[in-house]
Amino acid sequence: MSNKTYSIPIGPVHPSLKEPMTFHFEIYGERIEKVHLAPGDNHRGIEFMGRQRNPIQIIYLAERICGICSASHPFAFCQAVENAMGIEVPEKAQYIRAIIAELERIHSHILWAGVAAHELGFDSVLFLSWRAREEVLDLLEYLTGNRINYGIFMIGGVRRDITSEQITRIKKTLDYYKEIYGKLEDIFLNDPTIALRTKKVGILSKEEAIQLSAVGPTARASGLNKDVRQDQPYAAYADLEVQAITPEVYSGKVNGDVYDRIVVRLLEIVQSIQIIEQCLANLPEGEIVAEEKLVKLLNLIKKAQGEGIGRHEAPRGEVIHYVKLNQSELPEVWKARAPTYNNLMPWIPMLIGQQIADIPIVLASIDPCIACMDRVTILDRKSGQKNILTKDDLHKLSVEKTRRMAQ
């Protein structure tokens, strides 16, 4: 049997990815037998660089770990430093943090929905959802000054206030999303073509999700009731009612397939809108940062000693930052663990037994931002024959399968 399998390397050059990454697939006919992952192409040594900068500078470095999660990493990092130093964050700042984090979740999930549609050959939906996403980017730019890499987080609070006139604008955008949500849900959950391509594809069972410590929507779609905002509330989430969303809410049962991951992410958009509305209704008055003067803050950091942990439920799952301060301007240790790191291993049970044409949608289903692949080389070991499959060919295979199934 083994001499009849093909070996397919994918990557590391694939456009519009978070990380260039290399995969090796062992294929028998059309079926995937084995998957090997080889990450590391995107290693920039961020934690090493962090040890040469002071914590205030690290906030901006943490933002650039990932351009899509640019609120999640500084959120977790600031919490870690506050935890280590024992800083109390003003209540209003905690609410503003939650609002920004939830706005980011809306933008990230809509982005993902578009990418997933693109992988199925549904490009009109990609354009529709990315058009819808521009509204939340406009709002984030209005609130923070930037479309991406917001630069709003600061140790001990936030850097910009949300004023009452800004609240009207936030509500306007939320109304827009409530209006178009029905449309998005109709396209993704009721369309027979999407259901054909995503149901019973890339299944991750609950046991596997626990064993491989999946996080975020990937874990919740497999029926794990797991959400940091629910299990260990932080910032404003302690005052709000956040329930982890599992596909049971929608369909009454858990399959753990790609379709369930779409369900979870779509429902989380609604949840985020509700959280922001709750935040706006209860927005307290007062300070937005514990220590306004940066020099004074830096002096406090220089004197501080201790360890701290910050956890946040990013759009892709739980992100953890660990910081150790030792009476110095520079942190002694800084460790960041991003959710995609946990979700890499669940790829293997998801992919085994699937077809080559399903690779793009299964890879995309954990939302690693792997949107497309540059090239695939099919090497027939027996004859030594070499065929090059570009990302276009792979995409074409996927589109053809959609057409075939729709007939």
Partner 1 sequence: MKLNKYFERSLWVFHLNTGSCNGCDIEIVAGLTPRYDLERFGIKLVGSPKHADVLLVTGPVTSKMADRVKRVYAQTPDPKAVIVVGTCGISGGVFYNSYNLSGSIDKVIPVDVYVPGCPPRPEAIINGVLQAWIKLEKLRKTLKDNSPAK
Residue 300: other Cβ atoms inside 10 A: 16
Binding of residue 148 to partner 1 (CB under 8 A): yes
In the complex, the smallest distance separating the C-beta of residue 67 from partner 1, rounded to whole angstroms, is 3
- 392 touches partner 1 by CB under 8 A: yes
Note whether 54 binds partner 1 by CB under 8 A.
no
Instruction: Read off the amino acid at residue 213.
Output: S
Instruction: Please identify, using beta-carbon distances, which residue of 257 and 367 lies nearer to partner 1.
Output: 367
Give the interface segment with partner 1, choosing from 74-82, 209-217, 320-328, 369-377 (CB under 8 A): 369-377
Residue nearer to partner 1 on the CB measure, 40 or 86: 40
Phi, psi for 324 (deg, rounded to 5): -120, 120
Listed ranges 48-56, 233-241, 337-345, 350-358: which one lies at the site for partner 1 (CB under 8 A): 48-56
Judged by CB under 8 A, does residue 381 bind partner 1?
no
302 in contact with partner 1 (CB under 8 A): no
10 contributes a contact to partner 1 by CB under 8 A: no
Residue 369 C-beta: closest distance to partner 1, Å: 6
Could you tell me the sign of the dihedral formed by the alpha carbons of 93, 96, 102, 108, in that order?
negative
Q: How far is CA 75 from CA 16, 70, 162, 217, in A?
A: 25, 9, 17, 19
Please tell me whether residue 400 binds partner 1 under the rule CB under 8 A. Answer: no
Q: Cα torsion at 354, 355, 360, 364 (round to 10°)?
A: -10
Answer yes or no whether residue 49 interacts with partner 1 by CB under 8 A.
Answer: yes
Q: Determine if the peptide bond prior to 233 is cis (ω within 30°).
A: no
Closest to partner 1 by CB, 16 or 163: 16
**Residue 61 binds to partner 1 (criterion: CB under 8 A):** yes
Q: Which of 10, 59, 54, 35 is nearest to 289 (CA)?
A: 59
Residue 175 C-beta: closest distance to partner 1, Å: 19
**Residue from 28, 36, 86, 134 binding partner 1 (CB under 8 A):** 134
Q: Could you tell me which of 68, 195, 181 has the C-alpha nearest to residue 122?
A: 195
Among the listed residues 1, 2, 3, 43, the single contact to partner 1 using CB under 8 A? 43
The residue from 65, 89, 106, 350 that contacts partner 1 (CB under 8 A) is 65
**Backbone angle region of 395, left / alpha / beta, with phi > 0 → left and psi within -120 to 50 → alpha:** alpha
Cα→Cα distances 223→4, 197, 202, 207, Å: 37, 21, 15, 10
Q: Which stretch binds partner 1 (CB under 8 A): 167-175, 285-293, 343-351, 391-399?
A: 391-399
Angle, alpha carbons 246-251-256 (nearest 5°): 50
131 lies in the binding site for partner 1 (CB under 8 A): yes
- Extended strands (E) in 39-156: 153-154
Could you give the C-alpha distances from 330 to 136, 260, 311, 382, in angstroms and in order? 36, 44, 21, 56
Q: Among 28, 30, 31, 40, indicate the residue that binds partner 1 (CB under 8 A).
A: 40
15-34 mask for partner 1 (x: CB under 8 A)? Answer: xxxx-x--------------
Interface positions with partner 1 (CB under 8 A):
12-18, 20, 40-46, 48-49, 52, 60-61, 64-68, 70, 111, 114, 126-127, 130-131, 134, 137, 147-149, 369, 372, 374-375, 390-393, 395
